[in-house]
Amino acid sequence: MKKYFFFDMDGTLTPSRQEIKQEMAEMLASLRNKGNITIAISGASREQMLKQLSNSVDYILAQSGSDTPFWQRTFDENNKKEVIDHLQKIKDFLSDQDILGIEEDLLQDRGSQMAFSFLGHNSDLDKKRTFDPKGEFRRSLLEKFPFNSEDLECRIGGTTCLDYTYKDSTKGKNIEKLLKRFGWDKNECIYYGDALFSGGNDETVLGVIDAVEVLHPEDLLVKLKEYK
Ligand SMILES: [Mg+2]
């Protein structure tokens, strides 16, 4: 029996950077009414998560959980420089193609995570959706320009992003810490995410708790029906 329901946010509970739809909020309410615990974990900031999810889940773990006081760790100047240098190589490579959005909207420094959106974090939702649905474009760039860092790793996140986090602060690692801290049984946990593919930011959850790939929020609704 599952009791702890973990969800990625963008592309899983909600469309990218959009508010949760009523049907999804009702589904989560129904899970909670039955005594289940719901947890959203995302690379987004806490403020952004509250905006999108309001009080529809029990726990909000922002920046993939790295904002959680017990294990918060902020990027230092060296870490930031590594990210900026890596991105510069990619930007230079793409400079003759009309891909990147408005410069000011590309990179977000979220403290314990940095997120680079190729189109811009606030760019048009339909464009975001069709940009790189399977992460192939971003994966090919990471193959061409591997991110070599002692402390950090880079993963494909959201619809258009590269997410940089500490190696010990991935979604999977942070879920592990949470389970240990709260004494939750991993067999009672299940995770739903749209980026479980190779290189995706949900992939780090594989092997930590059961994980289910979802295509989009409508698909998640179908997959949760059995628990309703
Ligand atoms: Mg996602």
Residue where one domain finishes, among candidates 117, 145, 168: 168
Residue where one domain finishes, among candidates 168, 185, 212: 168
Whether pLDDT at 145 is above 90: yes
Cα-to-centroid distance, 13 and ligand 1 (Å): 8
Cα-to-centroid distance, 44 and ligand 1 (Å): 10
State how beta strands 189-193 and 4-7 pair. Answer: parallel
Cα-to-centroid distance, 149 and ligand 1 (Å): 24
Cα-to-centroid distance, 214 and ligand 1 (Å): 9
Residue 26: both structure tokens together: 């009702």
pLDDT band, very low/low/confident/very high, at 158 (cuts 50, 70, 90): confident
Asked whether residue 86 falls in the same domain as residue 134, the answer is yes
Which pLDDT does position 3 carry in this prediction?
97
Q: Is the pTM of this model over 0.85?
A: yes
What's the domain range around 51? 4-71+169-227
Residue where one domain finishes, among candidates 168, 185, 219: 168
Asked whether residue 153 falls in the same domain as residue 183, the answer is no
CATH of the domain at 179: 3.40.50.1000
State how many domains the chain has: 2
Asked whether residue 22 falls in the same domain as residue 60, the answer is yes
Cα-to-centroid distance, 12 and ligand 1 (Å): 6
Which pLDDT does position 115 carry in this prediction?
96
Instruction: Enumerate the β-bridge partners of residue 6.
Output: 39, 191
Averaged pLDDT, 68-85: 93
